[in-house]
Amino acid sequence: MVTRTDRTKVDYAATREEALARIAAAQDLDALEKLRVEFLGKQGSVSLLLKTLGAMSPEERRSTGPQIHALREGVSDALTARKTALEGAALEARLANESVDLTLPAPEAPRGSIHPVSQVLDELAEIFADLGFAVATGPEIEDDWHNFTALNIPESHPARAMHDTFYFPDSDTEGRRMLLRTHTSPVQIRSMLEQGAPIRIIAPGRVYRSDSDATHTPMFHQVEGLVIDKGIHLGHLKWTLETFLKAFFERDDIVLRLRPSYFPFTEPSVEVDVGFAQVNGADGKSRRVLGGCGDAPGHGWMELLGSGMVNRKVIEAGGLDPDEWQGFAFGIGVDRLAMLKYGMDDLRAFFDGDVRWLAHYGFSAFDVPTLSAGVGAGA
């Protein structure tokens, strides 16, 4: 302890030597911290020496001051240097002892899955590509000419009613009302106008109708097909749909029934039914399995899609001469196809965005549909 009375006897150089020796001998950071407190802490010996300066005469302070400050400086520098050295040594020791085993298996990362609708859209593109169809896309925000007028749906048609169609408040620069497309048909109209004939396309995508219950969502997916060429007839339509459905459902015994129907954009129009068997499952529940003639015992017909020969007025709206070019078209609900093929019963769950549903029904990103390996996932 340095007091006011014995300060003249203090040998600052010896004090410094002793302090530096003890700092250099500190074996770890804890010991070093104790020394810092002992010398430079509030009650530290060097701190107390500094305080004695206040009580000195000016002459004494002039001669002693530099020695005390040099002492404090030297101790402080030594503490810092030793701290750096000890920390370096600690790091070296850790690096020498620790190791990473690169041969251990990596932790399992969460893996996403492909939505059933995306899976089916991929399957459709794959199957129709093999039949020579290109995939065409277009805007989801359309005008009423491309969505309705060009498709022979007049102003007064109920499909145009407010409760079915989502309209925007404004019209475009040509005075056409803007809307969310109610089907993908406008894509085909645009293809006719832009690329002319012949045409073989499918137009898959989102469509919108103001409808919401257990079997309808305001947004759903549709795929439409369009073929325009010379001498196209209903036989081409039936063969194409039969070939497509056999590939999609991976069954050779798919049987179709064409029923007369009405759509403004086709003439004649046909509703296409597919035969199914009523099968009793192991769980006692009765299921419908597609395949076989719907008129056979234990069988029935299921309505699957709409189609027909493209109406002359629609071919004209597409900028083509209907005496030169004919064609067929069809439209199917993609969500419905997914439900049928993969056994999902609630349409609304498709668009809830619940990852638990997706974990259950989703498909592996590595299960890419190909005709050679089977278009169905996990086939």
| Contacting positions for ligand 2NL (CB under 6 A) | 185, 188-189, 224, 226, 263, 265-266, 305-308, 310, 314, 329-333
Least separation in angstroms between CB 170 and ligand 2NL: 26
Q: Please, which residue, 298 or 319, has the CB nearer to ligand 2NL?
A: 319
3-state secondary structure the chain: CCCCCCHHHCCHHHHHHHHHHHHHHCCCHHHHHHHHHHHHCCCCHHHHHHHHHHHCCHHHHHHHHHHHHHHHHHHHHHHHHHHHHHHHHHHHHHHHHCCCCCCCCCCCCCCCCECHHHHHHHHHHHHHHHCCCEECCCCCEEEHHHHCHHHCCCCCCHHHCCCCCCEEEEECCCCCEEEECCCCHHHHHHHHHHHCCCEEEEEEEEEECCCCECCECCEEEEEEEEEEECCCCHHHHHHHHHHHHHHHHCCCCECEEEEEEEECCEEEEEEEEEEEEEEECCCCCEEEEECECCCCCCEEEEEEEEEEEECHHHHHHCCCCCCCCEEEEEEEEHHHHHHHHHCCCCHHHHHCCCHHHHHHHCECCCCCCECCCECCCCC
326 φ/ψ angles, rounded to the nearest 5 degrees = -125, 170
Least separation in angstroms between CB 168 and ligand 2NL: 22
Least separation in angstroms between CB 371 and ligand 2NL: 25
Least separation in angstroms between CB 360 and ligand 2NL: 27
Least separation in angstroms between CB 103 and ligand 2NL: 56
Least separation in angstroms between CB 299 and ligand 2NL: 23
Least separation in angstroms between CB 209 and ligand 2NL: 11
Q: Please, which residue, 61 or 336, has the CB nearer to ligand 2NL?
A: 336
Q: Please, which residue, 16 or 183, has the CB nearer to ligand 2NL?
A: 183
Q: Please, which residue, 64 or 188, has the CB nearer to ligand 2NL?
A: 188
Task: Output the residue with the shortest Cβ distance to ligand 2NL.
Answer: 331
Q: Please, which residue, 275 or 331, has the CB nearer to ligand 2NL?
A: 331
Q: Please, which residue, 199 or 277, has the CB nearer to ligand 2NL?
A: 199
Angle at 260 between CA 259 and CA 261, to 5 degrees: 110
Q: Please, which residue, 259 or 287, has the CB nearer to ligand 2NL?
A: 259
Tokens found for residue 247: 């590939």
Q: Please, which residue, 114 or 305, has the CB nearer to ligand 2NL?
A: 305
